[in-house]
Amino acid sequence: MYNNVSIVDLSSNLASPNSVDAVVTFRNLHNWIGPQMDTIFKNSYKALKPGGIFGVVEHRANPNTSLDVMKKSGYVTESYAIAIAEKHGFVLVDKSEINANPKDLKNYERGVWTLPPSLRLKDKDKQKYLEIGESDRMTLLFKKPID
């Protein structure tokens, strides 16, 4: 099943047009905020076969979080993630709360990297952050329409 999996540089052509069944990304959208965001989504869409899926797992910001705060904190609003995908032609098919974490207050000194697994503050309040656990994450499933 996994013998046809490739890890690629998303800023270039991922694959031949309409040749890929699925593109998935885990905890990356916050790194793409800026000019590369459009390039990555465009290249992903182009590579996917009609009906192909685009899966996103990302640290979820509170609604109305500014783009500047998203860049600094590592959290992205669900509405921003959906809008970017839809801008590039993807259709939202489903959402899951499988990675939700209501203990995550999303207001930490070092952003999402304060929480495990990064624990950027090292031993400072480590137990507190371990008890919170990993970030609250959105899990989104998009599809490239079949024309």
pLDDT tens digit string along 76-86?
999 999 999 99
State the residue range of the domain holding 50.
Answer: 20-101+135-143
Domain membership flag for residue 124:
no
| pLDDT tier at 115, thresholds 50, 70, 90 | very high
Q: Does residue 76 lie in a domain region?
A: yes
Q: For residue 135, what is the DSSP state?
A: P
Rounded to an integer, what distance in angstroms lies between the CA atom of residue 13 and that of residue 27?
21
User: Residue 74 maps to which CATH number?
Assistant: 3.40.50.150
Query: What pLDDT, on a 0 to 100 scale, did the predictor assign at position 24?
Result: 92
Verify cis geometry, omega within 30 degrees of 0, for the bond prior to 35. no
Q: In the chain, how many domains are there?
A: 1
| Mean pLDDT computed over 114-126 | 95
pLDDT of residue 1 exceeding 80, the answer is no
* Residue 56 domain-assigned (yes or no): yes
Rounded Cα distance between 42 and 35, Å, is 12
24 domain-assigned: yes
Residue ranges of alpha helices (H) inside 18-77 are 29-32, 35-47, 67-73
Q: Is residue 114 part of a domain?
A: no
Residue 40: inside a domain: yes
Residue 96 is assigned to a structural domain of this protein = yes
Continuous segment of H or E residues that includes residue 58: strand 48-59
